[in-house]
Amino acid sequence: TANVVCVGPVNVAVFSTDELRKLMNADRDLGFTMLASIARVLAGRLRQADARIDELTDKASDVWHNAMG
């Protein structure tokens, strides 16, 4: 599922999970492209989360930063 906000007219395609799996199995190149795109997005989100955790950890371990607020 996804939430989006559009700034202009759009066409939308809705697939059930079963239909999507059938489509991906019928066209293996399409299926691979879709899975690669999902993996790329998830990897990017994981990198962002890791960077944020590192940032928060650095601030938490910096005694002077905590003391000075």
At residue 1, the pLDDT reads 61
Residue type at 30? L
Helix (H, G, I), strand (E, B) or coil at 43: helix
At residue 50, the pLDDT reads 93
Q: Is residue 30 within 8 Å of residue 24, measured between CB atoms?
A: yes
- Rounded-to-integer distance, Cα 32 and Cα 38, Å: 10
Q: Is residue 56 within 8 Å of residue 50, measured between CB atoms?
A: no
At residue 67, the pLDDT reads 67
Q: What is the pLDDT along the chain (69 residues), one digit of tens a residue?
A: 668 888 999 998 888 999 989 999 999 999 999 999 999 999 999 999 999 998 888 776 666 666 665
Handedness of CA 24, 12, 45, 60 (dihedral sign): negative
At residue 66, the pLDDT reads 62
